[in-house]
């Protein structure tokens, strides 16, 4: 899958996910060297998820998400969780990947994309 195909899959997910009630693509760019998407989603529990992903091509028609941010907020705008790879917690395992939890705790994270984040949110909402 290349970056353009990945963005197409993301847009299909936003249209077809039972978790997503509404979505708005705020910014999108498809290019040969870098692609980008930024969107705001309203979820079934009235929470919101705002996210951005920078996608770059790799060898053999593959891609890599180089920068990402996913901010999940409750219906009143309070942060529930934020996944990102901004390099500002160098002492955490798996640096720069980390998660900001509701109570301002920051824990080590794994590389993630919109597919994984929506799956994680769906598990949390279903509890």
Each residue's pLDDT tens digit, 75-103: 999 999 999 999 999 999 999 999 999 76
Give 29's strand partners. 36
Cα 41 from Cα 62, distance rounded (Å) = 27
Burial of 35 per CB tally in 10 Å (0-12, 13-18, 19+):
buried
Q: How many domains does the chain have?
A: 1
Q: What is the pLDDT of residues 25-59, one digit of tens each?
A: 999 998 878 899 999 999 999 999 999 999 998 88
Distance CA 82, CA 72 (A): 6
30: CB partners within 8 A, 6+ apart: 3, 4, 7
pLDDT band at 126 (very low <50, low <70, confident <90, very high): confident
What pLDDT, in 10s, does the model give residues 5-22? Answer: 899 999 999 999 999 999
CA 51 from centre of chain: 5
What pLDDT, on a 0 to 100 scale, did the predictor assign at position 13? 97
Per the structure, the complete domain to which residue 35 belongs is given by 3-126
């Amino acid at each position: 899958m290349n970056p353009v195909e990945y963005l197409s899959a993301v847009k299909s997910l936003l249209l077809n996910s039972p978790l997503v009630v509404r979505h708005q693509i705020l910014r999108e760019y498809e290019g040969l060297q870098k692609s980008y998407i930024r969107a705001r989603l309203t979820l079934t529990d009235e929470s919101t998820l705002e996210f951005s992903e920078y996608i770059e091509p790799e060898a053999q028609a593959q891609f890599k998400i180089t920068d990402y941010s996913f901010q999940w907020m409750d219906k009143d705008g309070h942060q529930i969780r934020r996944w990102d790879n901004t390099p500002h917690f160098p002492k955490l395992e798996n640096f720069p990947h980390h998660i900001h939890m509701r109570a301002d705790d920051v824990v080590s994270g794994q590389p993630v994309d919109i597919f994984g984040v929506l799956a994680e949110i769906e598990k949390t909402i279903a509890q």
